[in-house]
Amino acid sequence: MVTEADEMLARVQARADRAIQRAGLAAGMTFDQVVHAVEQALEIRLRIVPETDTAGWGTLTGFLTYFADRREGSIHVRASDAAIYSQFAASHELGHLLDDAHCSGALHERSSVSPHDNPLLTTPEYEAELVAEHIAHRIARLLYTSPRVAESSW
């Protein structure tokens, strides 16, 4: 029997699939290349800003500011975080940008609290956060865990 949760997961995965295809993201890219591919796919300009003054951020690990009229945005992450982790937080925001529903009032913030454990989210917000998280994990797989030629050769 297909539950509501199963249906949502299928929808989330389909949205994540489309997002990755939209930007033509592929294994072997660097993080900068991923950001550039998103800029090209969406015809926008993006800046990744490592913020040093994050004492008041609480559980926040990254957020996006986007100006549709200027077609530019910036993704703010914590400068004190390890590169892999802050790139993951930034990838979550790239996920919001690439998602079908990126203009439909998603939060554009990444919390260290999982969407599963955040009762304050509405259902569309919850789904949008899941999509962004799925995309971030997919980007991470392309960046760090895809087979490398030198390790697949001999």
Give the footprint of other proteins on this chain (CB under 8 A). 9, 12-13, 27, 59, 61, 81-85, 88, 111-114, 116, 130, 133-134, 137, 140-141, 144-154
Residue type, 60: L
CA-based R_g, the chain, Å: 16
113 with 60: CB under 8 angstroms? no
Query: Which one, 69 or 152, has the nearer CB to other proteins?
Result: 152
Calpha distance 19→98 (Å, rounded): 5
Q: Of 148, 144, 139, 153, which is closest to residue 36 (Cα–Cα)? A: 139
Query: Which one, 83 or 101, has the nearer CB to other proteins?
Result: 83
Q: What is the 3-state secondary structure (H, E, C) of 26-71?
A: CCCCCHHHHHHHHHHHHCCEEEEEEECCCCCCCCEEEEEEEECCCC
- Least spacing, CB of residue 70 vs other proteins, in Å: 31
Query: Which one, 108 or 138, has the nearer CB to other proteins?
Result: 138
- Least spacing, CB of residue 31 vs other proteins, in Å: 10
In sequence order, the β-bridge partners of residue 49 are 76
Query: Which one, 13 or 74, has the nearer CB to other proteins?
Result: 13
